[in-house]
Structure 1
Amino acid sequence: GNTAILKPSSLNPTVANVIEKMMKECFSEEYVAVFKGSTEVTNVLLEERFDHIFFTGSPRVGRIVMAAAAKHLTKVTLELGGKSPTIVHKDANLKVAARRIIAGKMLNVGQTCIAPDHVHVHADIRDAFEKEMVKTLREFYGDASSQNPDLGRMINDRHFQRVAALIDKARVLTGGQTDAGQRYIAPTLLKDISMDDAIMQEEIFGPVLPMLTYQSLEELIGNLKKLPEYPLALYLFTSSDQVERQVLDSTQFGGGCINNTVMHVANPNLPFGGVGESGMGAYHGKNSFDAFSHKRSILKATTLFDIKFRDAPYKDKVNMLKKMIK
């Protein structure tokens, strides 16, 4: 029974046009309206009073949305992002891990909020894993990935420049090629990265995947706690229930997968959402219905009789009330 206003991102006018066309074909504008445009349109909309605001995007804009909602005490669902880590323990199936990590990372060339942002690899299997990752990239996209129709481009020049600047040529394991005219960035693996490097200070949101090494789970968990904020997702590859339990019990994140990436969002029975900097609230399936609903509690009492023990005066009723409470 909700009416809705949809505001697509101005960064992708093609998708915005498709959304507008679909909504006009399916709904009267008095029920669902689409507003296209840039920041000015968003700011005007945020001045209005809504029952609920749902936003997906960056933490920076999420703060703006939440501040505007606070003026009217409007509740919000924020699905943001963050540096989602992937962990490959020494007992992982490396071939499966490489394929599923590359598939998740290169979906929309890394421009998804749940893309694996970086990989922590156990030192014992680092060399073997790196070889498997390079092999998988070539299998997926060939030696001339710029000609591969399955590989997209960065959404605009600003994001192309930002991601291209994160590539340290001295640490490229494979890839690293860029073409500003096409906004093309080759699928790129970076090796020998540390938590202090520049690429580890912000969400990448592109086809560049830095790889770090750890010796023990204690070192790994310590590194995960150095991340700027709680990530939207975490992915762990291991065959050990004990390793799984230790990592999950020691970290905070929105949701994730064991021995896979990204696929948790495809299950409508799993709530999807972040925590802290990566968002608040959850949706997907029934959780989406709940996100846009208010659960209104109503108690209907009979008038056929009236129990007066709760009424004043309370003398001689205290002991009875204590027994009822117990």
Structure 2
Amino acid sequence: MNEQEIKNIIDKQRQFFHTAATLPTLNRLNALKKLKISIKKHEADINQALLLDLGKSDFESYMCETGLVLSEISHMIRHLSTYVKEKRVRTPLAQFPSRSFQKPSPYGVVLIMSPWNYPFLLSMEPLVDALAAGNTVVLKPSAYSPNTSCILQHIIRECFDDSYAAVITGGHKENTSLLNQHFDYIFFTGSQHVGKEVLKKASEYLTPVTLELGGKSPCIVDRTADLKLAAKRIVFGKFLNCGQTCVAPDYIYCHREIKDELLLQIKKQIIKQFSNQPLKNKNYGRIINQKHFERILGLIDNQKVVFGGEYDRSELRISPTVMANVSFDDPIMQEEIFGPILPVLTFESLDQAVSHIQSLPHPLALYLFTSNKKDADKVMSYIRFGGGCINDVVIHLATSEMGFGGFGESGMGSYHGKTGFDTFSHTKSIVNKKTWLDLSVRYQPYRKLYKKMLKLFLK
């Protein structure tokens, strides 16, 4: 699609938005219900697309993508009538008589740019929040997951005219064309490198943005942790989607004294969850493409591999791999891994671990395994990060009851549930001043008596 065709779609959406057709709550609810019906109808097609793009099993596709989208839609349908209401707030005495309230209002035409690792979930969830908030949406999925982009386009066309919601496929050329346009809000999920470009382009129109990026999310394991359970949960979260999860534990940072036992438990869990031959496990995914496959292989130091390391270039599969005796200076610690390699580093004391992580770029997620409540409070309070878990991994994003997002280098803004509705809404602060009384205090000529009155009002 060329730049003029893209501009035509945006113009159509802006015209449609200006008709106020997206404002009534009933219209928003109908849009969400229509979308829910279509997703359920095409569940098998979605599964097939995710299998072709990423090798995901039906179970994983529903658990991590389709099911979460349906849950978000259900949440919005249940709560939208509450979210759209004006909220009355206290009015200062100096503004008597009047009524003050806050009113959520849609931004207008929204651009959502989604990644390839969870191509259905990370396209549809922000789209659901944006539609619930009353916006029109242009969705640009990643070119790396073409099969999912195709089903996304089919579902959106089935549900909406492109003046309301449209999917634009393609690669770098289309991304550039989109970012050259004037949107009222931009929501981007992807790499820090591209996120910087999105922010730069958005600044030309002073367009507000949400950036969902990534980073090296640490998983701290202290001496008091239940190591068997920790290993079980870490292995699940790290190797889910073949490690291609933005909130996956990027590395383990454990106490030196429990490293060997933790490694033993991790090896046992990899075998238990993925079998002795994970490359032949039909429920274990694959790397998205050759480029990323080669990049991940280049991060493996065979001298430090203590488990795994096998790969199948023809199938773009890398087995769950564990590396030990890793330091923060090693190549694998210089970038987000985004693949099935788990480096294990050690610390002498929890204070040392906290201090070191504080010196690093802010991670998208942080995980801590401990039985010590005081230490848990310290880590969660002292270290700055997007979100995380105590004694588990990744599950903090699987809810509509609290927001999900990054912090600092790992992003800005958040979404899911009410937080998502607020992200795609501008909250207007409004004072409705009554006409039956008009105090003269604020008007010239100013008088000493009025100043005394002001001091009573404003002290």
Which interval holds the TM-score relative to the shorter structure?
A: over 0.9
| Residue 98, structure 1, aligned to residue 206, structure 2 | no
Report the secondary structure of 1:4's partner residue.
strand
Deviation by residue 1:264-319 (Cα, 9 ceiling, x = unmatched): 00121111000111110010011111111111122111111111112122221222
Which of the residues 310, 315, 323 maps onto 2:442? 310
Distance between the aligned counterparts of 1:59 and 1:260, measured in 2?
A: 26
Q: Which residue of 1 aligns with 2:246?
A: 113
Which of the residues 43, 47, 72 maps onto 2:176? 43
- Stretches of structure 1 that go unaligned for 5 or more consecutive residues are none
What letter matches 1:110 in structure 2? G
Deviation by residue 1:26-71 (Cα, 9 ceiling, x = unmatched): 1111111110000100110111111100000000000111111110
Q: How does 1:118-267 map to 2 (within 5 A)?
A: 118-227=251-360, 229-267=361-399
Report the secondary structure of 2:430's partner residue.
coil
| Residue 284, structure 1, aligned to residue 416, structure 2 | yes
Contact 2:199 2:209 in 1 (8 A): yes
Report the secondary structure of 2:186's partner residue.
strand
Report the secondary structure of 2:343's partner residue.
strand
Distance between the aligned counterparts of 2:183 and 2:396, measured in 1?
A: 30
Report the secondary structure of 2:282's partner residue.
coil
Deviation by residue 1:112-168 (Cα, 9 ceiling, x = unmatched): 111110001111211111100000000011111110011111101111111111111
| Residue 6, structure 1, aligned to residue 120, structure 2 | no
Distance between the aligned counterparts of 1:75 and 1:130, measured in 2?
A: 45
Q: Which residue of 1 aligns with 2:400?
A: 268
Displaced runs of 4 or more, over 2 A: none
* Number of aligned residues: 325
Deviation by residue 1:156-212 (Cα, 9 ceiling, x = unmatched): 111111111111111111001122221111100111111111111100000000000
What letter matches 2:286 in structure 1? R
Distance between the aligned counterparts of 1:7 and 1:292, measured in 2?
A: 17
Q: Which residue of 2 aligns with 1:24?
A: 157
Q: Which residue of 2 aligns with 1:33?
A: 166
Of all paired residues, the percent bearing the same amino acid is: 46
Report the secondary structure of 1:306's partner residue.
coil
Contact 2:210 2:412 in 1 (8 A): yes
Distance between the aligned counterparts of 2:243 and 2:331, measured in 1?
A: 18
Distance between the aligned counterparts of 2:378 and 2:423, measured in 1?
A: 31
What letter matches 1:127 in structure 2? D
Distance between the aligned counterparts of 2:416 and 2:145, measured in 1?
A: 23
Could you say what the CA RMSD is over the residues aligned between the two structures, in angstroms?
1.0
Contact 1:272 1:283 in 2 (8 A): yes
Contact 1:195 1:226 in 2 (8 A): no
After TM superposition, the score normalised by the length of structure 2 is: 0.70
Name whichever structure is richer in helix by fraction. 2
Q: Which residue of 2 aligns with 1:87?
A: 220
Q: Which residue of 1 aligns with 2:93?
A: none
Distance between the aligned counterparts of 2:251 and 2:197, measured in 1?
A: 28
Contact 2:308 2:321 in 1 (8 A): yes
- What is the CA-CA distance between 1:241 and the residue it aligns to? 1.1
Bigger CA drift: 78-87 or 314-323?
A: 314-323
Contact 2:402 2:418 in 1 (8 A): no
Q: Which residue of 2 aligns with 1:71?
A: 204
Contact 2:186 2:207 in 1 (8 A): yes
Report the secondary structure of 1:189's partner residue.
strand
